[in-house]
Homo-oligomer: A and B are copies of this chain.
Amino acid sequence: MAQATTLPRNEGGISAAVQTLSERFGDRLQTGQALREQHGHTTTWIENQAPDAVVFPTSTAEVAEIVKICAELGVPVIPFGTGTSLEGHVNAPAGGICVDMMRMDQILAVHAEDLDVVVQPGVTREQLNTYLRDQGLFFPIDPGANASLGGMTATRASGTNAVRYGTMKDNVLSLEAVMADGTIIRTASRAKKSSAGYDMTRLLVGSEGTLGLITEITLRLQGIPEAIRSARCSFRTVDEACRAVMTVIQYGVPVARIELLDEMSVRAANQHSGLDLPELPLLLLEFHGSEAGVLEQSEIFAQIAEEFGGFDITATSTAEERSKLWQARHDMYWAGLGLRPGAKGISTDVCVPISRLADCVTTARAKAEDMGLIAPMVGHVGDGNFHALLLIDMDNAEERAKADDYVGWLNNLAISMEGTCTGEHGIGQGKRPYLLRELGETTRFMAAIKAALDPDNILNPGKILSDG
């Protein structure tokens, strides 16, 4: 485990808060060690920093009450969803109270005519889509994990569908949030667009629990497309695959997903999912539209792919075949781990302008080989975002240090290519130094906003900003 910074603890305040909250919430306030550690633990390689207690509110009013108690005592408040974040977002470096949102799991209103839905933060992505299916609607953002919508909002999540449907920033219409002093605010109306003052919605999206606790989310929905078609295509090189992607995007083909698996990922997928794909760079695509539309899209893709040396192009509208391919893509994390049983996976998350993607992936691939690291790579290539999954023996200090070096090297490479150290995972604890490198003085203004909205630094301290 990588060591996480510890911050000073307000022991007196914390004891008093646990006491007060315990009296108020009864057995909805828990202090058992296993439960606390589970709430510090995320899908991450950063060491666990457990909160002092976990509280389970069921309403916005209760969240406000909790925040007010903690604010009065100067005690950290850390919101928690499914714990699937990757950069130590829910760790408690100064201790404090974890607010588990998962009992706020109601779908409050579906406005089918307006294509929006109002949910509590503990509703998960799959829960929402199951609920919506009968109405012919779906929520498109799919980060892989069955994350909570509150957590996805807080980390500005995206995933495979972002190339067409955007990220959480594009799909949240409005938020209700509890601010650091316990005030409940609504960031915007339910109108589809607005020029009403500062964009408080977008400020809270991606703020990782450091500016407010999200207690209600109004999300944009999409109609389930009449037809869905999948395609796959192999290439001799990552460069050819990336050039094909650029051309497809420039041509205006509204692909819903366009994913790259490098050869090592394809090997892992073949092993894990019993497939028989050529062990070469692979593009996986999905098209949404009318019957005629998806056919046209997949034909245009095939033409472009062939121009760039793509081969073994297959397309299908059969639900079964589609889901087999996409299941393999979704299982890549586990498939990757299968390449080195017992190893822990550390995921990078750089995102670069698409014109730099081939160069970035190829250079990253070569560097991993140079350093003797096993690192299958998959990418949301329509957005220029890719993940290298470093497979590391965490008991080996030398390997851990190597992984650290690689992550830093790759983040700096992406930044030097006008890209970012994080396309969708967020900063959390792990990427704070890279945020500073990426945006420099801009982080000083982020810190000013943090200080203005949370002057006592009680909301998820130690995240995003280096001095927090």
Is the CB of A251 closer than 8 A to any CB of chain B? yes
A195: contacting residue among B293, B384, B422, CB under 8 A: B422
Which of A261-269, A325-333, A351-359, A389-397 forms part of the interface with chain B?
A351-359
Given contacts A196-B435, A198-B206, contact A189 B354 (CB under 8 A): no
Encoded as 1 (CB less than 8 Å from any B CB) or 0, chain A from 249 to 265 comes to 11110100000000000
Chain B residues positioned under 8 Å from A199 (CB to CB): 156, 169, 199, 202-203, 205-206
Encoded as 1 (CB less than 8 Å from any B CB) or 0, chain A from 166 to 185 comes to 11011000000001000111
Which of A44-52, A370-378, A439-447 forms part of the interface with chain B?
A439-447
Q: Let me know if B195 and A424 touch, CB within 8 A.
A: yes
Closest chain B CB from A390 CB (angstroms): 19
Encoded as 1 (CB less than 8 Å from any B CB) or 0, chain A from 89 to 124 comes to 000000000000000000000011111100000000
A residues 152-166 in Cβ contact with B at 8 Å: 155-158, 162, 166
Q: Which residue of B lies closest to A168 (CB)?
A: B195
Q: Let me know if B249 and A191 touch, CB within 8 A.
A: no
Q: Let me know if B384 and A191 touch, CB within 8 A.
A: yes
Q: Let me know if B438 and A196 touch, CB within 8 A.
A: yes
Is the CB of A453 closer than 8 A to any CB of chain B? yes
Encoded as 1 (CB less than 8 Å from any B CB) or 0, chain A from 405 to 438 comes to 0000000001100111111111100010001001
A439: contacting residue among B113, B197, B442, CB under 8 A: B197
Given contacts A169-B202, A418-B190, A453-B448, contact A439 B251 (CB under 8 A): no
Chain B residues positioned under 8 Å from A246 (CB to CB): 113
Is the CB of A11 closer than 8 A to any CB of chain B? no
Is the CB of A23 closer than 8 A to any CB of chain B? no
In the assembly, what is the distance between CA of A191 and CA of B158, in Å?
A: 14
Q: Which residue of B lies closest to A300 (CB)?
A: B290
Encoded as 1 (CB less than 8 Å from any B CB) or 0, chain A from 200 to 223 comes to 101101110001000000000011
Q: Let me know if B439 and A162 touch, CB within 8 A.
A: no
Is the CB of A29 closer than 8 A to any CB of chain B? no
A198: contacting residue among B296, B349, B446, CB under 8 A: B446
Chain B residues positioned under 8 Å from A319 (CB to CB): none
Chain B residues positioned under 8 Å from A3 (CB to CB): none
**Chain A residues proximal to chain B, CB less than 8 Å:** 111-116, 155-158, 162, 166-167, 169-170, 179, 183-200, 202-203, 205-207, 211, 222-223, 225-226, 246, 249-252, 254, 289-290, 292-293, 296, 349, 351-355, 383-385, 414-415, 418-427, 431, 435, 438-446, 448-453, 464-465
Q: List 10 A-B contacts (CB under 8 A).
A: A155-B195, A186-B440, A189-B351, A189-B418, A191-B385, A191-B419, A193-B383, A196-B420, A199-B205, A445-B453
Task: Kindly list 17 other residue pairs between chains A and B, CB separation below 8 angstroms, not including A187-B439, A449-B453, A451-B452.
Answer: A113-B354, A114-B354, A114-B384, A115-B249, A157-B195, A183-B444, A186-B440, A192-B383, A194-B420, A194-B422, A196-B427, A197-B427, A197-B439, A222-B252, A223-B250, A223-B251, A223-B252
